[in-house]
Amino acid sequence: MNKLGIIGGSGLYNMEGLENSKWIKVNTPWGNPSDDILQAEFKGKEIFFLPRHGRGHTINPSNINFRANIDALKQLGVTDIISMSAVGSLKENLEPGTFVIIDQFIDRTFARVKTFFDKEIVAHVSMAKPTSPGLMNTCEKVLKKLKIPFQKGGTYLVMEGPQFSTFAESNLYRSWGLDVIGMTNMPEAKLAREAEIRYATVAMVTDFDCWHKEHEDVSVEQVISTLLSNAEQAKKVVAEVVMSFEEDIDAKDPANHCLDVAIITDKKLWTKETIQRLSTIAGRVLNK
């Protein structure tokens, strides 16, 4: 059975129409997730919400326990994740209020643990196509239906933060031809792939970063103002996606069974302790 998880801002779990809602505390081998996870039903469909920064936005992007977040969602049976992320625009045509369906990432973070396979068992998953084609198609249909301005396809540069870019950095990233910049989708996307969870990002533009000479330097007030507007649109997107995402699931999705060809460590060297720690993420292949 396919189950949808939403990682994003705290306001998303207030969307109208949720029934039988309950917050679930999930323990993981990697520590605590950002928050409890909201399990709910929407028109008969089960859905899970995880506030990435915790309710009230108390967790710095660099301090998010990405491993615990992904492990917790997989424990609850989540097979597909839509990541709703606030980003800055690096292009003139991507104005605040525009949504971008991301298909590529450049990871410029440096202070985060980026793999579940960091001890004893080594695995190399492919990240050539880091997002799910099926989920991207669903998001495209939904954004068209809701008449929300969007772009399908785009490269998201993930920076460390929590500070915004310098003017020089912003222009460097623009010279690379990138589309948007943010602080949260790496290593989230990499860990979702290691967990064999289909993943897509809907990036919501809040500002022009600091490169745009006709706009003020990025401020929290500016970002929050656009975030509030985007949040209402995001709720509508989630409501539509949960009802239709299964229609576009691709049997050839790059996340499906990707661990079959990823683990390189000799099975004779695996210990029970490590197999247990990875049981949620890789139990399908480790327990064969």
pLDDT of the residue at 269: 96
Tokens encoding 161: 């933060």
pLDDT of the residue at 91: 95
Q: For residue 230, what pLDDT band results from cuts at 50, 70 and 90?
A: confident
pLDDT of the residue at 117: 98
Task: Report domain 83-286's class.
Answer: alpha beta
At residue 71, what is the residue type? D
Q: Is residue 80 annotated as part of the catalytic site, yes or no?
A: no
Tokens encoding 167: 């003017």
Q: Which residues pair with 80 in a beta bridge?
A: 4, 198
Do the Cβ atoms of 159 and 183 come closer than 8 Å? yes
Which of 254, 199, 247 has the alpha carbon at shortest distance from 84? 199
What would the mean pLDDT of 236-258 be, rounded to a whole number? 96
Whether 265 has a pLDDT exceeding 80, the answer reads yes
pLDDT of the residue at 266: 96
Q: What beta strand segments (E) does 62-216 contain?
A: 80-89, 99-101, 104-107, 150-152, 155-158, 180-182, 198-207
Q: pLDDT tens across 194-217, in order?
A: 999 999 999 999 888 766 666 555
SS3 state of residue 224 = helix
Whether 288 has a pLDDT exceeding 90, the answer reads no
Active-site residue (options: 107, 209, 248, 253): 209
Q: Is residue 107 annotated as part of the catalytic site, yes or no?
A: no
Q: Per residue in 211-250, is it b (16+ CB within 10 Å) or e — as a string? A: bbeeeeebeeebbeebbeebbebbbbbbbbbbbebbebbe
Q: Is the dihedral of CA 276, 281, 285, 288 positive or negative?
A: positive
Active-site residue (options: 207, 217, 253, 260): 207
Q: pLDDT tens across 143-170, in order?
A: 999 999 999 999 999 999 899 889 899 9
Whether 110 has a pLDDT exceeding 80, the answer reads yes
What would the mean pLDDT of 31-56 be, rounded to a whole number? 96
Residue matched to tokens 């990499």: 190
